[in-house]
Amino acid sequence: MMKRREFMHDAGALGIALSLPVPVVAATMPAMKMAMRPIPATGEQLPIVGFGNSQAFRDGDYENSEKLLDVLVDHGGSFIDSWAPVQEVLGRYMHEHDGRNKLFLANNVGASSEEGITENIRYTKEAQGKAVLDLLQLPNPTNFDKQWRLMRDAKDAGHARYIGIAISKSRYYDMVESLIKSGTADFIQVNYSLLETESDERLLPLARDEGVAVITNRPFVNGRYFPLVKDRQLPPWAADFDCDSWAQFSLKYILANPAVNCVITETSKTRHAIDNLSAGFGRLPDEETRAQMLKLMRSF
């Protein structure tokens, strides 16, 4: 675990870096490694802050994507939630930076036929240069029973180390709850934040009890969080858990939940990526403080 003195040294460097032009940031930041948590199914360690499907990735902007991915790796991160349209960008980075063992990719596969999932897996393996994929995720299922059977078959055939489901709406919670209880999922990905706490009431404690890894999405609720905190000062007690920004305030609330393995964030700006990833360092709020954080947000 990072010592307080070490964290403050890195936090000071972070503050300087955030004031610099983006091209200078990556060269200025010290080597930093974030906290990790074990995947229950195997004990494999996973960094606690990752990337979602950044607009830079979706636009095929390799120059910007490369900077973002460098920041992720330099901070000890690895998890990326990826979709078919961004495989070319991620694959190029992995080939050019020997990244096959540096990045942990969650590959969303929504195919509803054996032919479709087989082709998607083939394309993804070729793009990433991985003989076995890290994680296959079933996003927002339309025919769950059939699609989940295909996911299980893919894992049994050795195409992926882990399988899971990825949703961002509460209408899928009953399905996810049943899946957790079935004992066949290694991961679930769900929406969870200071503004969306329902999954913690239903799914996260169950996932922890059943040994299922949890990835959380929508930490800023697609941007709805930031207008609520704009022009407001962080409460002074945020310093008690090494929080330097409102983005970290949300992320540290999420990460303080012991059921959460990793929270994913989306940005195309390097300085925002550094701020987000920095939530993976230093102390986290205790339960009493988390209740105080939630009360504060509900007062805005």
Q: So what's the pLDDT on residue 32?
A: 54
Total-model pTM? 0.89
Q: So what's the pLDDT on residue 200?
A: 97
Residues of the chain with pLDDT under 70: 1-32
The domains located in the chain, with CATH, are 35-227+259-282 (3.20.20.100)
Q: So what's the pLDDT on residue 33?
A: 75
Tokens of 264: 């994913």
d(CA 224, CA 246): 13
Q: Do the beta carbons of residue 78 and residue 102 sit within 8 Å? A: yes
- For the chain, the 3-state helix, strand and coil shares in percent, each to the nearest 5, are 50, 15, 35
Q: So what's the pLDDT on residue 267?
A: 97
Give how far Cα 2 sits from Cα of 71, 97, 160, Å: 19, 27, 32
Residue 278 CB partners (closer than 8 Å, separation 6+)? 11, 14, 75, 244, 248
Q: So what's the pLDDT on residue 21?
A: 40
Q: Do the beta carbons of residue 137 and residue 176 sit within 8 Å? A: no
Half-sphere exposure for 10 (CA within 13 Å, toward CB): 24
Q: So what's the pLDDT on residue 132?
A: 97
* SS3 (DSSP) at 199: helix
User: Residue 137 phi/psi, 5° resolution?
Assistant: -115, 140
Q: How far is CA 199 from the centre of its chain?
A: 16
Q: Do the beta carbons of residue 138 and residue 166 sit within 8 Å? A: yes
Of 208, 293, 298, 209, nearest in space to 251 by CA: 293
